[in-house]
Each structure stands twice: as C-alpha cells, then as structure tokens.
Amino acid sequence: MNVPADRKYTRSHEWAKQEGSLIVVGISDFAQESLGDVVFVETPEVGREVQAGEAVAVVESVKTASDIYAPVSGKVVEVNEALADEPELVNGDPYGVGWIFKLEPSNPAEFDALLGPDDYTKVIEEES
Amino acid sequence: MKRDFPTLFERSRTGRRGTRPPRPAEVDLAGLLGAENLRAAPPRLPEVDELTVVRHYTNLSRRQVGVDTNFYPLGSCTMKYNPRTGEAAAALFAELHPYQDPGTVQGALQIVYELQEYLAEITGMDAVTLQPAAGAHGELTGMLLIRAYHESRGEGEQRRVVLVPDSAHGSNPATASMAGYQVREVPSGPDGEVDLGALRAALGPEVAAIMLTNPNTLGLFERKILELIDAAHDQGVQLYYDGANLNAIMGWARPGDMGFDVVHLNLHKTFSTPHGGGGPGSGPVGAKAHLAPFLPVPTVKREGGRFLLDFDRPQTIGRMRSFYGNFAVMVRAYTYIRMLGAEGLKRASAMAVLNANYLRKKLAGVGYRIPYDRLCKHEFIAQPPEGLKALDVAKALLDYGYHPPTVYFPLIVKEAMMIEPTETESRETLDEYVEAMAEIARRGLEDPEWIAHTPYRTPVRRLDEVAANRKPVLRWRPEEA
Amino acid sequence: MDFTPHTPDDVRAMLEALGMQDLRELFADLPDALLEPDLHLPAPMSEQEILAHLRELAGKNASADKAFLGGGLRPHFVPSLVPALAQRGEFLTAYTPYQPEVSQGVLQAVFEYQTMIAELTGLDVSNASLYDGAAALAEGVLLALRQTRRMGVVVSQGVHPEYRQVLATYLHAVGAELRTVDLEDGLTPPAEFDDTVGAVVLQSPNFLGAIEDPAPWVEAAHATRALVVYVADPLSLALLKPPGEWGADIAVGDGQPLGNPMNFGGPQFGYIAVREKLVRQLPGRLVSQTHDVDGRRGYVLALAAREQHIRRAKAKSNITTNAQLTALMGAMHLAALGPEGFAEVAAASVARAHALAEMLARLPGVERVTPEPFFNEFVLRLPRPAAEVRAGLGERGWHAAAPVPAEYGANLALFAATERHDEDDLAGLAAALKEVLA
C-alpha cells in the first residue's frame, strides 16, 4: 500500500500535506481501495471554519458513504472542483489530483501531532 | 443481438389515443382558469393506444420476480404469500372518501377500530394508532411519542440521546435523527446479542430511549431482554420495539409483556399485505398507557354501537399523515388476522421458525458458514464458503430461479447473507433451494470466472452501478437530434 | 385458515432434522415468563366466511363513487386496465428492486413514472414516490432546510390544513420554526421573508380551490435565497402552468387523482420533484438508467448513499417503504389517457365544478367563498354548520359539504366535482342541498 513520506496521516485515513501556509487534505490509498469506485465527493463550503476531527466532506461509493474529517482546525479556503465531474480522480491519484480540500490552519501544533508515515502504515496493517 | 426493451415514450406516436373520457363539451379554459395560468404546452406524456399500454406493462411484469413467481427468502422483509383474499377484501372498500359523514362509513370505522384492538392484543400494548404509512413512518411516530412523554415530565431537554445496537436496521438511527435525537451505537457481544454490560454503561440521565429489534437482525432472540429492559427502565429510559421481525414470535410472546413501551408493526411484512415493489405498506404503532395520550389524531373509538373519529387528545404529537392512514392495507391485514385467528398466527410463527432453522441446518451441511450457529428465529445469517463472495452467490441464485437473500446486512457480519424463508414455503422448496446453494458453492469454487459473471439468463445481466451513480440518468429524454 | 404448506409428516421430519420433538423447542430461547400468552382474537374463518363478513361490513358504508367531496382526494374515473395491470403478481408481490437483474419491470416502470412527474411539474427530477401529499410536503420542506442550512419555514394558510399539521409535527421534531401566513379573501397575500427562512410553501389551487399567483412569493423567496415548495394537485397540472415554470424549486403533491381509488384516504402516493441541483438532497428511492455488461440498457436504484440503509443516522430521511405500486398505478393511468385524455379529464372536472358552484350558490343563504379563478374544488358558506348539512345530505344518499376547519371561517363547506359527475348528478345534489337547508 502506497504511503508517501512527504505528508501526515490520521487514524481515519485522511492525509494532510503542507503546501506553503496551507494544509491540503485527501484520503489515503488504503481508504480509496477499501471504498471502491468513488461515485461522488461532497466538498465543504469555502470559508467554513472547521475543528480538527469535524466531518467536513463525504466520499461516496455505490454502497457506502464515508465522512472525511478535518485533520486540523482552520478555515476551508479551496475545494477540488474537478471532483464534481470526475470523482474517480480520488481512486486514480488519491495523493495528487484526487485531493479534496485545502485548509488555512488555525493551530499549527495540530499538524505536528498527526501520524507520520510509519505510524500510519502500522494503522493500516492492523486494519487489514 | 437483443434489442433494448423500449420505454413507453419510445412507443409513443403523435396523435395516437388510448382511453377516451366521455366526449367533453367545449370548455372555455382561459375564461374559467385565467389565460395567464394555463400551461403553454401539454406535458409530454406518452401517446399510446390501450393495447400498447397493456402489452408494455404485461411484458415489464415478465421482467420482474415476486413472491407469486419465485422463492424470495429476503431477510428482514418477510416475503410470505400474500393471499388474494386480501385484494378482494380491499376492493369492497375502495370507493369511500375520508370526508364523508361518519354515519356513512360505520363499516370502515369498525374495521379500523377492531384492527386497533387486535394489534394491541397481539403485541400486548394498551393503545394503537394505524395512521403511519410504513414501518419507518411508524418508527418516527413512536419516537415522537417518547419525546413528547419526556417533555411532559420536564426531561425533554435533558434526554437527548437514543441508543441503537450496531446490528440495527438503518431506519432506526435515521429515525432517531429525524426525531431530533443524537444516536449512540451499542456494540453487540460475541454471541450476537446486545452486550448487556456495554448497554448498562451507556445508560444515563441523557438517554431518552433504546431502539431494539427482537429477535434482532441476526435472527437471534435477545435472551437477556427482561434484565435489559429493567436496567433501562430503572434509569427512566423508554424502550422502542422495531416490529420488523414480529413474524418470529406471533402468539408465542409479546413485546408488551417483555416490557417495551412502544412498538411499530409492518403490516406489509408480518400481516401478509403485498409489498407492491416497495410499497405502500402500513406501520401501526402500539403504546403503553403512559404514552397513549400522545398518540397522533385521529384514532377511532367506540361509543355505544357507533364508531367515531376521536380528535380529542390534548397532548397529541399531532398528525403524522393526511386522513387516517393506509386504510386499504389495513383491510388486508384485518382479513389476514380474522382468517388465521390466534391459533393460525401462532402456527404461522412456528412454521416460520421451523423453516429457518431447518434451512440453517441444511445449509451448514453443504459448506455455508453460520456465524451464530444456534437456535434462530424466523431468519438467520449465513456466509458463503471461504473463497466466495455473498454478492456472487446472490447473482448466481438468479440463474437458478431464486430471489437472493439480503446481502451485506447486518453490517457487523462480513459477507452476510440474511435468509428468511417464511412460513408459507414448503419443505420441498427449501430442499431444492439447498441443492441449488450447494451446487453454486461447488461450481463457484471450481470456476471463479463462471460465478464472477453470473447471472447469464436474466433479462439483463450485471448492471453498471458505478456509471449510474456517477452520472445518473433519472428520466427519459428524446435522443438529441 | 393459515397458509402454511406443512403436513404433519413435514413437521415431524423437519423437527427431527433439528433434533427436536416438539414445536415448543423452537422457542426454548425465550424466557418462560413470556411464553404462549393467551391471545383473545375472534375464531379463524375460511375465505368464504371472511368475505361474507366483510361484505356485511361494506354494507354499512355508503359508496362515495359520486361524492362531491374534495381535499385533494376525489372520485375520478380509473381506466380498467390500471387495476388489472397493477394486480399482476409480479408487481404486487415484489419487494423493493434491490436485485436489478430480476427487477427490471418495477425499475423501468419507476423510471417512466419519474419522467412523467418531471414532465407534469416542469422540474428536472422526481423520486420514486413518498407516502402521500402530506409526507411529500414535510420531506420537501426538510430538503429545503438541509440545502439552505436554515431553520425557518413560512407556509401559506392555503396549504391543505392536514398537510400543515403533518408538517408541524415533522418540524417540531427537528426544532425548525414554522410561521403561517393567513389567506386574505381566499388568496395568499404577498409576504416578505428574512434570511432565517429556508423554505416557503404555497399551494395552488389552494385548499379553498382558488388558483394562486405564485410569482410574488417566488420572487420574495429567491430574493433571500429561500427555496419555494409548491404543492400542486397533479390533475391541475394537465392544464395549469407547472411549478417549475413559476420558478418553484420543489413540487410536491398527492397522487390519488392519478389512477387510484379513494380508499377511505389511503393508500395513494406522494410525489416530489426538484431542480437538478437538489437531487442529492432528495429523500427516498431514485431509479437511474444504465447498461449491463453486454451493453444492454437497464435500470438500477441510484444515489443510495442518501438513504437510511447506508447513511443511517445521517440519511436524508428514514423513508424505506414508499408507495411504489400506487405510484405505478398513477403512471399507468397517465399512459392510458395520454396528454389529450388527461387534459380532457381535467377540463371536464373543471367544467363540472364551475357548473355546480353556480347552481349551489343560487340557493338561499349560500355564498361562494372561493374567489375566481378556481379549479375543480370550491368552498361555500352555508347558513348552517357544514357537519349538519353533510349529515343531512348523507341521509339522502349524497356525499358533499366537507366541513372546512374553523380557522378559515364559520359554516364553510368544501365541494368538488369531477368528470364522473353528469348533469343529473349536479341537479340531484342541488335539489338535495335545497331540501336540507330548507
């Protein structure tokens, strides 16, 4: 299972990557694989203030719907508009063009507390 | 190459007529209705002759299976035989209007009244409303009764949480949300029953109710039900009984005697009214006396020899449905109950449980795994042999002429197949079904390619659900020119 | 009489396979204290006996096939092919079409139904059906609140009072606020909405039968980004400008006038149609066209992630069972009539209602309250309480003058006429009413 080293992870299978002053969020390869074909991504409203751990987006496959939680607190500043027409990007390239939203973090310490790639790899080993 | 089955719209030809109403007089529509209110163009309905309509739907029906055509052991749905007597019965009462003078509908009101009484007796409850139009509608009604009860005691603000087992029907948590509650899941124990310790720990002054199905969705009777209910009542928590599985215990035990405060029933499951491809159903709710003041209005009461609509319930939660509920469904259920009587209902449940246990035992003998292999009630959970998927077994069954069981539910069992044969199936049917299941298991393991591409003989084969969900096409449109 | 096929030998052999001797052993997991309660129910009956009993009960009712009663439910003529086709066992005894390969009959019929409702309402998407008009209204309003993330609802008093009562029950549960705008001279007056309002609800023809001008409400609602829920009798949409063209976002209503008997109030079906952008907020089932592995066209349930069996506590609604068969009867009815026949039925109903209103309003002390233009229902003020008048008519074999709730005024009675009434029926009712009022 692909777990890139350039970012952090959550137990609920989101990844978070620093990009300048922003945090980009998506779901892991493990998550997209367990969901199966993604058919719809409900993205949050730009401008919404969210708390770490708050459900802010939903990723749907044919038979499931999974909440996506904000890895850190902050303000939603951008969502991936391309997913509206091509939700399958989440399957094809979960760490790249399949990103879901970007946050302007309000508490940088939260990012540091997220799981590193090794710890996340252990999480998915436990689950599979 | 087979052609697509045409839609009615594709069969339409401009100017073709079907049923003709009596020849109309000239009507000055613009004058009567106001020219500015008229639609510019008529709705684009199909223009077809009667024979085309009849053939269209007749041939569509041949692309559909029902209990009338095939064994249909769909778990949790109680797909028993729907006696045609019920259809004849309902037809006797079709031409009644809900607003006609109550003196001219005494027979109809008597049926409503007596059915209220019968259902109270069968469930062990004190009062019944027949207003809810379906099971989930009954659930909402029942939860609102509980909420009104807590509010009447000044505990409405405090009790904000509803406990639901992780094995529950999805409609339970969805209903609790609609009733304005937060939902907390309670785990099942290793025996498939609610974990009594976990439940006790979850109880508290913030809990309004517990929603339970008994037997639960694994088909297992909650053996600690009496302790469980006592523990909840000690904390002021109300007990909600989801009656989806009542077919297991009619005449053998009553939710009211178990201590439940509210119960909903599905007349379209337990009481043999037809499912109609998804509805209409009816979801009566029974309540103990302390919740009766909150029942929706109207109910039907008897005064002397007269039956009256009773709107006098000052603490009512209000109305749940227009008029009085799905009356024609009630007539069918009334007919069923009067035909069976107490003994017949009891026998129906016994045969439902006998069939389920017989099938459980037989399937275990041909390689299917039974995760909770003990006495079940009207249904049970099986898993395919290691190496096969529930979905593939379901699809293979279609080629053998069987409607598959419910698959992938309850969520707490992987590759779950929830099988409910019902009491109206014969031993031969069950034996033949087991043979088919055995053959599917054997062939599927030998030939993974074969099972992965089943079915082969159905009107259409596996359908692209991903495409339908990514780019849904929800109405017919003419081909772009 | 039960319907179990088990012979004594079957029972014995099956119990034996389970290592049991007695049926009671099948219930050994139940606490003893619960077992085998005495059920007091009437003795069982054969089919012949129950049907005789039911005929006797039916004899205590007076058929309302010529009723002049309204409220969105009326005696309309149903082509014979509708019940004949709907009673086919494949439609009658199927469950929800979860296995599409063997459920194309129901699925395609629903897809066609969805198309017809979209056409009638002038909106983009219809679901597969809801319970009735009242539930459709409640669900439509909840949908609007989800979409706008607001908790305020404004409803015209012209909306059917029972629908408003159901709406109030649903809204109380989720803590939403409901404000009612009273009718003025039988019509909804202009209103303004603040930005807490997520849904505004209008019915046309309204409960008194009058055709509203929805434009001011639509404009005022959209000015504050509230959504418009439009309650419409589907028969009226044969002739009247549809909700979508008025700018409504959501149309709901009760489908009884389409191919369903009155059934003493149920079942019928509720319809809901919305604009495309609201489709993922729709409650209930939706059918989508797709194709199978061989490229053949077929249909499946779609967007199920909205629904309770997947989304559980976060579902758009708890609805599961809907009103599929009665909705299909609606589709069969529309298919049988076609656009012309459907318009003829509506026109005949309108013409009869107007003729009746004129005849009855000539009686002394009787006055039409519903302003013009009205459709096929109307309200009269009577010189006496409507319930008494209705009872008097009932004794004479006529069903009319449904009492209108006091919130609309005193001594008001609702009337309707349909294509099923002929001139003798109208004259007969007028004579009977004259007699009752004398």
Taking the domains of chain A in order of start, what are their residue ranges?
10-127
HEC sequence for B309-332: EECCCCCCCCCCCCCCCCHHHHHH
B183:C325 CB<8 A: no
Residue B78, CA atoms < 13 Å, CB-side half-sphere: 29
Q: What is the pLDDT of residue C308?
A: 87
Q: Are residues B223 and B289 in the same domain?
A: yes
First-last CA distance in chain A? 11
Would you say C263 and B328 are in contact if contact means Cβ atoms under 8 Å apart?
yes
Distance from CA of C385 to the nearest CA of B (A): 13
Distance of CA B208 to the CA centre of its chain: 25
User: Same structural domain for residues B414 and B329?
Assistant: no
Q: Does a structural domain hold residue B106?
A: yes
pLDDT of residue C1: 74
Rounded-to-integer distance, Cα B205 and Cα B231, Å = 13
Write the pLDDT tens digit of every residue in B424-469: 999 999 999 999 999 999 999 999 999 999 999 999 999 999 999 9
Residues B223 and B244 in one domain: yes
DSSP line for A48-90: -EE-TT-EEEEEE-SS-EEEEE-SS-EEEEEE-THHHH-TTHH
Domain A10-127 has CATH 1.10.3720.10: no
Chain C residue numbers touching A87 (CB-CB < 8 A): none
Residues C87-120 as b/e (b if ≥16 CB within 10 A, e otherwise) read ebbbbbbbbbbbbbbbbbbbbbbbbbbbbbbbbb
Confidence class of residue B166 from pLDDT cuts 50, 70 and 90? very high
Question: Under a CB-based contact definition with an 8 Å cutoff, are residues C337 and B18 in contact?
Answer: yes
Looking at the fold, whether B329 and B352 belong to one and the same domain comes out as: no
CA distance A45 to chain C (A): 12
Q: Which amino acid is at A58?
A: V
SS3 for B58? helix
Rounded to an integer, what is the distance from CA C17 to the centroid of its chain?
Answer: 49
Q: With respect to residue B401, please indicate whether it lies within any of the assigned structural domains.
A: yes
In which domain, by residue range, is B196 found?
84-340
Q: Are residues B336 and B369 in the same domain?
A: no
Sign of CA dihedral B351, B353, B357, B360: positive
* A87 contacts on B by Cβ (under 8 Å): 470
Give yes or no for residue B23 having a pLDDT over 90.
no
In Å, how far are A17, C72, C259 from B101, measured between CA atoms? Answer: 71, 17, 24
Determine contact: C23 vs chain B, CB below 8 A.
yes
The answer to whether residues B352 and B336 belong to one domain is no
Q: What are residue C61's DSSP bridge partners?
A: B105
Average pLDDT, chain C: 97
pLDDT in tens, C344-392: 999 999 999 999 999 999 999 999 999 999 999 999 999 999 999 999 9
- CB contacts, 8 Å: A63 with chain B: 408
Nearest to B319 among C103, C166, C174 (CB): C166
- Are B410 and B383 within one domain? yes
Q: List the 240-269 stretch of C: residues with Cβ below 8 A of B.
A: 240-242, 245, 254, 261-267, 269
Percent of chain B with pLDDT over 70: 99
Confidence band, pLDDT 50/70/90 cuts, at residue B243: very high
The amino acid occupying position B238 is Q
User: Within this chain, do residues B261 and B375 fall inside the same structural domain, yes or no?
Assistant: no
Residue of B nearest to A87 (CA): B470
Question: What ipTM does the predicted assembly reach?
Answer: 0.98
Q: List chains touching B (3+ CB pairs under 8 A).
A: A, C
- Same domain membership, residue B220 and residue B108: yes
- Element at B227 (helix H, strand E): helix B225-234
Which structure tokens are listed for C149? 């993330």
Sign of CA pseudo-dihedral A65, A70, A74, A80:
negative
| Cβ separation B466–A39 shorter than 8 A | yes
B457 lies within 8 A of chain C by CB: no
Q: What is the model's pLDDT at position B481? A: 46
User: Which tokens belong to A3?
Assistant: 């777990």
B43 inside domain:
no
Residue C222: CB atoms within 10 A of its CB come to 15
The domains of chain C, with CATH numbers, are 81-331 (3.40.640.10), 338-437 (3.90.1150.10)
* Whether residue B1 has pLDDT greater than 60: no
CATH number, domain of B359, equals: 3.90.1150.10
The SS3 assignment for C35 reads coil
Distance CA C15, CA A64 (A): 40
**A60 reaches B (C-beta below 8 A):** yes
Q: Which residues of C touch B39 (CB under 8 A)?
A: 237, 239-242, 245
Number of domains in chain B: 2
At residue A108, does pLDDT exceed 90?
A: no
Query: What is the Cα–Cα distance from C77 to C417, expressed in whole angstroms?
Result: 12
Q: Which residues neighbour C94 within 8 Å (Cβ) at sequence distance 6 or greater?
A: B64, B65, B66, B67, B275, B276, B277, B278, C103, C105, C106
- In chain B, whose CA is at the least distance from the CA of A84? B470
Beta-strand pair C377-381/C367-368 = antiparallel
Which whole number is the average pLDDT over C230-257? 98
CB contact under 8 A, A65 and C305: yes
Shortest distance between the Cα of C372 and any Cα of chain B, in A, equals 8
**CA distance linking residue C417 with residue B244, whole number of Å:** 41
Q: What pLDDT score does B480 carry? A: 59
User: Are both B460 and B330 inside the same structural domain?
Assistant: no
Q: Residue B409 in contact with residue C309, Cβ under 8 Å?
A: yes
B265 is a domain residue? yes
- The Cα B37–Cα C121 span in angstroms is 14
In this predicted model, what pLDDT tens digit does every residue of B30-86 receive, in sequence order?
Answer: 999 999 999 999 999 999 999 999 999 999 999 999 999 999 999 999 999 999 999
Q: What is the mean pLDDT of residues A49-63?
A: 94
Band the pLDDT of C311: cuts 50, 70, 90. confident
The residue among A104, A88, A93 whose CA lies nearest residue A41 is A88
Which three-class secondary structure state does DSSP give residue A95? coil
Give the pLDDT confidence score for residue B478 in this predicted structure. 86
Specify the pLDDT at position B155: 97
* pLDDT tens column, B365-419: 999 999 999 999 999 999 999 999 999 999 999 999 999 999 999 889 999 999 9
Q: Say if B101 is an interface residue toward chain C (CB within 8 Å).
A: yes
Of B470-479, C52-61, C115-124, the least confident: B470-479
CB < 8 Å to B470, chain A: 39-40, 87-88
Is the Cα torsion angle C98, C102, C106, C112 positive or negative in sign?
positive
- On whether residue B142 sits in a domain, the answer given is yes
- DSSP-derived 3-state class of residue B448: helix
Mutate: best of C282, C303, C309, C316, partner A, most A CBs <10 A? C303
Give contacts of B 21-50 with C, CB under 8 A. 21-22, 24-25, 27, 29, 32-34, 37-40, 42-48, 50
pLDDT tens, C25-42? 999 999 999 999 999 999
Distances (CA, A) of C431 to A45, C350, C393, C396: 64, 21, 10, 11
Cα separation, C89 vs C106, whole angstroms = 12
Contact at CB, B470 and A39, closer than 8 angstroms: yes
Within a domain: residue B348? Answer: yes
Indicate whether B167 and B192 sit together in one domain.
Answer: yes
Residue B258 has pLDDT above 90, yes or no: yes
The CATH number of whichever domain residue B140 belongs to comes to: 3.40.640.10
Mean pLDDT of chain A: 95
CA B407, CA C98: separation in Å to the nearest integer? 10
Q: What's the CA angle centered on C304, arms C321 and B217, to 5 degrees?
A: 55
**For residue C313, what pLDDT is reported?**
86
- Do B335 and B353 lie in one domain? The reply is no
Q: Is the pLDDT of residue A86 over 70?
A: yes
Given an 8 Å threshold on Cβ–Cβ distance, is A40 in contact with B466?
no
| 3-state secondary structure (DSSP) of residue B229 | helix
C67-82 average pLDDT score? 97
Containing C342, the helix (H) or strand (E) segment is helix C324-361
Could B170 and C307 be called an inter-chain contact, meaning their C-beta atoms sit closer than 8 Å? yes
